[in-house]
Amino acid sequence: MNQQIRLTVNGTEHRSEVPARRLLVDFLRYDLGLTGTKEGCSVGVCGACTVLIDGEMAASCITLAAAVDGAQITTIEGIAQDGKLHPVQQAFIDHGGFQCGICTPGQVMAAKALLDENPNPTEDEIKAWMMGNLCRCTGYYGILNSVAAAAGSTPGSNA
């Protein structure tokens, strides 16, 4: 059974007919060609598929596209503006917040959500927020440094 949905993804409205069981990660990757969102665990625990739905973090690998009909979706492709990387993206490059890159889009989206909610987090707040995003390369210090840099702070300075 198919269902009509309307989603605004990275500022562009999309109307589509999708199978009722179509996952948001599959809709983004295969229907829209937005391959920045990765699927890691397929059960919503690794964070690789993190997107923002109406500004809130969500695991797109366990979210049905039909369940978010009418929502505003932001993916990694949608946070750069006018050809300039988002400060979190730039910080991940400048401070080594990525290694193999599989978790990076989800890490960046989680960091963006954190800084949208709390622009000046402590080191402990960064660690607590980012806990749901796993990195199999164990690049956690680079990730922590990147998020802190994007916030304009240094890890340990306000912990």
pLDDT at 66 over 70: yes
pLDDT at 159 over 50: no
pTM: 0.93
**pLDDT tens digit sequence for 11-44:** 999 999 999 999 999 999 999 999 999 999 999 9
Pick from 123, 126, 127: nearest CA to 154: 123
CA-to-CA dists, residue 62 to 91, 131, 152, angstroms: 29, 18, 33
> Is 47 within 8 Å of 106 (Cβ atoms)?
yes
Same domain flag for 50 and 14: yes
Same domain flag for 73 and 92: no
Same domain flag for 64 and 113: no
**Mean pLDDT in residue range 98-112:** 95
How many independent structural domains does the chain possess?
Answer: 2
Longest dimension (CA), the chain: 54
Same domain flag for 33 and 93: no
**Mean pLDDT in residue range 114-134:** 96
Specify the pLDDT at position 139.
85
Residue 102 forms part of a structural domain: yes
Same domain flag for 93 and 38: no
SS3 at position 4: strand
Same domain flag for 73 and 111: no
pLDDT at 154 over 60: no
Tell me whether residue 44 is exposed, middle or buried, using C-beta atoms within 10 angstroms of its C-beta: 0 to 12, 13 to 18, 19 or more. Answer: middle
pLDDT at 158 over 60: no
Same domain flag for 54 and 14: yes
Domain boundary pick from 55, 78, 101: 78
Specify the pLDDT at position 157.
52
Residue 108 forms part of a structural domain: yes
**Mean pLDDT in residue range 48-70:** 98
Same domain flag for 95 and 69: no
CATH no. for residue 104? 1.10.150.120
Domain boundary pick from 78, 104, 136: 78
Residue 156 forms part of a structural domain: no
What is the residue range of 55's domain?
2-78
CA-to-CA dists, residue 98 to 41, 145, 147, angstroms: 18, 11, 12
pLDDT at 153 over 90: no
**pLDDT tens digit sequence for 76-104:** 999 999 999 999 999 999 999 988 999 99
